[in-house]
Chains A and B, each alone.
Chain A
Amino acid sequence: MISADDDKLTGLPFPKTWNGAYVIVLINFAGWIFLLVALRLLTQ
């Protein structure tokens, strides 16, 4: 069953909303891309 809370809130202290959780996933991904590009440029 999907409740209204399930739809909006993660039930975690942080991030509280699903939209916040998706933003964290995307920031984490962007961070990895940045790190990988930096690793390539710094070690060549």
Chain B
Amino acid sequence: MNGLDIFLLITSIAAIAFYGVWHTRSRRDLNSYVRGSDHTPWWVIGISVMATQASAITFLSTPGQGYLGGLGFLQVYFGVPIAMIVISLFFLPIFHKLHVYTAYEYLEKRFDRKTRLFGAGLFLLQRGIGAGLTIYAPAIVLSTVFGWSLQWTIIAAGTIVMIYTVLGGTDAVTVTQKYQMGVIFIGMTAAACILMSKLPPDLSIVDALGVAGGFQKLNASNFSPSIHERYTFWSGLLGGTFLMLSYFGADQSQVQRYLSGDSVRESRLGLLFNAICKIPMQFCILMLGVMIFVFYQFNQPPLFFDAASNQYLESRKGDPTHAQNLLKYETQFKETHAQGKQHLENWLKARREKNEQAATAEFVGAAMAQQEGEKIRKAAAQELSTQNTEIKANSADYVFITFILHELPHGAIGLLVAAFFAAALASKAAELNALGTCTTIDFYRILIKRQATDEECLVATKCFTALWGAAAIAIALFAQLSENLIQAVNILGSIFYGVLLGLFVVGFFIRRVGGTALFWAALVAQLLVFVLYYKLTISYLWYPLIGCAACVVFSLVIQTFLGNKENKVKPA
């Protein structure tokens, strides 16, 4: 990064943060701090919901998913449209009618206090860890690539977001997210335009799609019935619907976003905006990764994408005893890539000459060379981990940043890094805001100071937001991930979300179940999900469905044993 990049990065991030603080300087009461200004238009709510879900991990790691696995990951989002409709129909009117600060207040109104505390506790546990990952994930990638200190990158990003979230509350989160999404959109569009301009001049869009399709990168609809395959149409549609229902319907970081609208109409339109836009947005990000894959078929990619592996390889180049095997792999990889490239150029030529037979033969040659290249990469990664056990070659998270650094001009690099930071701050701010609110409304006001005034609750919310910010920084400083970043976040959510959703499903639809039955059912269901997660190898997308179904079934069974005397159904 040069001076221009650093200038763009610092000014865009700082300007948005300062604007957030300045814009919300007059917010002095609990209602406006927690619920927002009450006149947030639907499109701002829509952007805010989108920005909360799309963290830096989405923009850093998803193109890598596209590069390695193609469009298959898109199936995770097949549940979004259905989930948004269900939330618009059932969840939203109830939350608005009850005029709640947090979703978990509903659980006490419908059941009892312990069920509310259990739901809020699950949220705090899951989202508290998630907030650490939100800040750790981009920091580990950016610090490794740019040589920054990981600790200071985490502390700097964590502190900026903590300051403006504590000072401005929900409104600061919403207004900053609007501009942060603008920076992200400009950055990603710039990257896509530059990428397309860097593809070979004689390669048309149709040819590029032909290359991607030939290498099986455009398979976004896998109808396999296997529950062991991670991404299928069915796991996306069924499991994904439950995952998204839980995330958008029972996670306070999202509920707080759409409750900032002054009417059901604004909130509902904001949600439906996401129902329409989420799949195209993820498609574009994954497609960017697929096109980077096509780009690297015609341009030499590095043997390892991740910075730590490359730094190790570079540092060992003067040491023949250690480097011999790795350098051998690097040479083989380059030779194989050159063969593949030649086959693809011949394929293009045969395609132009309408020689189908030759085109097919050349493409088979290119595919074989590509497979051979991947084998060499795997063998090199294995060799690397035997030489240095601390390094684990992890390509997916580094593909996009490697492309940015090597292929984009200065200025665009700064803009993209600013986009990653903007995305990290946008989702982290929403998480901290929700964590602070939930701790105050669902725990402080119930367990610590029951007669707390609104002023005291406002001070408490600010203090808890700051404390959660500090906790997230601490978690990030000690975090270590073995999974691809975006998958790690989704897996974490899948383990807790099903049961959380189950609490609301029973509340909305099963009137004969009371608080005691539901509380114990939720506890057992959560334990069951933990056990299944460690015992089974099924796709993580099924766990929200399993958790929710287990919670519903167990609550009905336990209620039958308890009888109707325990059931005190309260009107919602």
- Interface residues, chain A, with chain B CB atoms under 8 Å away: 1-3, 6-7, 10-12, 18, 21-22, 24-26, 28-29, 32-33, 36-37, 39-40, 42-44
Chain A residue at minimal CB-CB distance from B287: A39
Contact assessment for A2 and B272 in the assembled complex, using a CB-CB cutoff below 8 Å? no
Contact assessment for B81 and A39 in the assembled complex, using a CB-CB cutoff below 8 Å? no
CA gap between A12 and B280 in the complex, in Å: 22
B310 part of interface (Cβ distance < 8 Å)? no
Residues of B contacting A1 in the complex (Cβ-Cβ under 8 angstroms): 96-97, 263
CA gap between A5 and B81 in the complex, in Å: 23
Contact assessment for A32 and B280 in the assembled complex, using a CB-CB cutoff below 8 Å? yes
Contact assessment for B218 and A39 in the assembled complex, using a CB-CB cutoff below 8 Å? yes
Contact assessment for B265 and A11 in the assembled complex, using a CB-CB cutoff below 8 Å? yes
Closest 8 CB pairs of A and B: A43-B213, A36-B220, A29-B81, A25-B275, A6-B264, A37-B221, A36-B221, A6-B265
Residues of B contacting A43 in the complex (Cβ-Cβ under 8 angstroms): 209-210, 212-214, 218
B84 part of interface (Cβ distance < 8 Å)? yes
CA gap between A44 and B89 in the complex, in Å: 40
B69 part of interface (Cβ distance < 8 Å)? no
CA gap between A40 and B209 in the complex, in Å: 10
B85 part of interface (Cβ distance < 8 Å)? yes
B144 part of interface (Cβ distance < 8 Å)? no
Q: List 27 A-B contacts (CB under 8 A).
A: A1-B263, A2-B97, A2-B263, A2-B264, A6-B264, A7-B93, A7-B264, A10-B265, A18-B88, A18-B268, A21-B268, A24-B276, A25-B81, A25-B84, A25-B85, A25-B272, A26-B81, A29-B82, A29-B275, A32-B279, A33-B78, A36-B71, A37-B221, A40-B221, A42-B213, A43-B214, A44-B214
Contact assessment for A2 and B275 in the assembled complex, using a CB-CB cutoff below 8 Å? no
Residues of B contacting A24 in the complex (Cβ-Cβ under 8 angstroms): 276
CA gap between A30 and B241 in the complex, in Å: 15
Chain A residue at minimal CB-CB distance from B217: A43
B522 part of interface (Cβ distance < 8 Å)? no
Q: Chain A interface mostly helix, strand, loop or mixed? A: helix
Residues of B contacting A6 in the complex (Cβ-Cβ under 8 angstroms): 263-265
B219 part of interface (Cβ distance < 8 Å)? yes
Residues of A contacting B97 in the complex (Cβ-Cβ under 8 angstroms): 1-2
Chain B residue at minimal CB-CB distance from A11: B265
Q: How far is the CB of B206 from chain A (nearest CB, A)?
A: 9
CA gap between A9 and B283 in the complex, in Å: 31
Contact assessment for A40 and B212 in the assembled complex, using a CB-CB cutoff below 8 Å? no
Q: How far is the CB of A16 from chain B (nearest CB, A)?
A: 12
CA gap between A3 and B96 in the complex, in Å: 11
CA gap between A30 and B269 in the complex, in Å: 20
Contacts A2-B97, A25-B275 hold; do A39 and B220 have CB atoms under 8 A apart? yes
Q: How far is the CB of B343 from chain A (nearest CB, A)?
A: 18
Residues of A contacting B71 in the complex (Cβ-Cβ under 8 angstroms): 36
B74 part of interface (Cβ distance < 8 Å)? yes
Q: How far is the CB of A44 from chain B (nearest CB, A)?
A: 5
CA gap between A12 and B88 in the complex, in Å: 16
Contacts A6-B265, A28-B276 hold; do A22 and B85 have CB atoms under 8 A apart? yes
Residues of B contacting A28 in the complex (Cβ-Cβ under 8 angstroms): 81, 275-276
CA gap between A1 and B264 in the complex, in Å: 8
Given A22-B85, A44-B213, 12 more pairs with CB closer than 8 A: A2-B96, A6-B265, A12-B269, A18-B268, A25-B275, A25-B276, A29-B81, A29-B279, A36-B220, A36-B221, A40-B213, A42-B213
